[in-house]
Amino acid sequence: MAVITYRQALHDTLRDEMHRDDDVFLIGEEIGVFEGSYKITAGLLDEFGEKRVRDTPIAEEGFVGAAVGAAMLGLRPVVELMTINFSLVALDQIVNHAAKIYGMFGGQTSVPMVLRTPGGGGQQLGATHSQNIELYYAFVPGLKVVAPSTPADAKALLLAAIRDDDPVLFLENLALYNTKGEVPDHVEPAEIGKAAVTREGTDITIIGYSRMAGVATQVAEKLHDEEGINAEVVDLRSLRPLDRETFVNSVRKTGCAVVAEDDWLTYGIGAEIAASISDGAFDYLDAPVRRVASAEVPLPYAKPLETAALPSAESLTTAVRETLDAVGRRR
């Protein structure tokens, strides 16, 4: 078992999969000579050559569409979109084509491609470079959207995404690249569409994904150590398909829940989670489901404003305490 960064886990997985399967190739902006804006693909051009590590022009619709077309013929492109913000330029190819081709042709061809892309705020990148717009993709049947929160999960989910026959949006987070975690020597592909209970508990369920799943675990540990609160943490891992069973069962056990998400509140992922809890665990609920999310503003550049706009360990802790107070469960 090694302790490596989230970045290293992604890099190692890409490299291993390219060695395993000649049909796997990388395509995207600055992934070759520049070695990737966030250095995930460092060294891969030298190792695999231009055919399999393909630098593209700045033309997201063109190269994402080309990856879709190549995938239709059975190749397994792994696209790097420099940031999720630029995916909007390729939205037609992702939503109208990658997601629909299997269905609208009656299952005759699939699109086994991966779109890797980082999102998230906190780096003072301003409004157009700090978005959490995974919801746009999680909304679309035909796409799969996964969001690993740890290095081990990054590896397991990327393995699964590359080997999956459907288009998978693989959501990374800028704040996670340098985080470290234990990764087993041999990692099996994850089951896409399966959430994980990353901490067992009985007092309250905290549901998160990507960066906020990690924050949720930290908050749960701290509340346990300092206040004796025993929170259960569910890491969604997959936003579509969504594993309702795991988090609804958790809420049936604990009776209350807080959802932690980096996206905007209104119509966000948390809204879907809360509605699912209402459908599946209404009779078990002791308090309304709380949501901790980003302020509904274009993310500002100025540091104090940006910090205030993003959900944090503090805002999540407050929401957990207030929920427990409401049900009289805080010690």
Partner 1 sequence: MAETATRTKPATRAKSRRSSASAANSGPFSGESAELLRGYFQQMTLIRRFEERAAQGYTQAKIGGYCHLNLGEEATVVGLMSALRKTDLLFTNYREHGYALAKGIEPGRVMAELYGRTTGTSKGWGGSMHMFDVEAGLLGGYGIVGGQIPLATGAALAIDYRDGDQVVMCQMGDGTTNIGAFHEALNIAALWNLPVVFVVVNNFLGMGTTVEKSSAESELYKRASAYRMHGERVDGNDVLAVRDTATRLVQGARESGGPALLEAVSHRLKGHSVVDPAKYRSEESVQEARDNDPVANFRARLVEAGVLDEDGAKEIERSAQADADAAVAFADDSPHPEVSTLFDYTYATPVANDSRRLPADPVF
Catalog residues that contact partner 1 under the rule CB under 8 A: 25, 51, 56-57, 59, 61-75, 92-93, 96-97, 101-110, 112, 141-142, 144, 164-166, 191-195, 240-246, 248, 276, 279-280
Q: Which of 11, 35, 97, 129 is catalytic?
A: 129
- Smaller CB separation from partner 1, 279 or 296: 279
Q: Which of 60, 80, 172, 306 is catalytic?
A: 60
What b-and-e string marks burial along 224-251, b requiring 16 or more CB atoms within 10 Å of the CB?
Answer: eeeeebbbbbbbbbbbbebbbebbbbbb
Environment class of residue 328 by beta-carbon count within 10 Å: exposed (0-12), middle (13-18) or buried (19+)?
exposed
Measured from the CB of residue 214, what is the shortest distance to partner 1 in angstroms? 22
- Smaller CB separation from partner 1, 1 or 73: 73
- Smaller CB separation from partner 1, 51 or 186: 51
Instruction: Return the HEC string of 65-104.
Output: HHHHHHHHCCCEEEEECCCHHHHHHHHHHHHHHHCCHHHH
Assess whether 129 carries a catalytic annotation: yes
As a whole number of angstroms, the distance between CA 262 and CA 311 comes to 6
As a whole number of angstroms, the distance between CA 294 and CA 310 comes to 5
As a whole number of angstroms, the distance between CA 166 and CA 109 comes to 10
Measured from the CB of residue 137, what is the shortest distance to partner 1 in angstroms? 13
- Smaller CB separation from partner 1, 139 or 224: 139
Measured from the CB of residue 139, what is the shortest distance to partner 1 in angstroms? 11
Residue 307: count other Cβ atoms within 10 Å of its Cβ.
13
- Smaller CB separation from partner 1, 140 or 219: 140
Measured from the CB of residue 134, what is the shortest distance to partner 1 in angstroms? 15
Going through 6-56 in order, the beta strands assigned E by DSSP cover 24-28, 53-55
As a whole number of angstroms, the distance between CA 125 and CA 238 comes to 26
Three-state DSSP class for 292? strand
Measured from the CB of residue 285, what is the shortest distance to partner 1 in angstroms? 13
Give me the active site residues, please: 60, 129
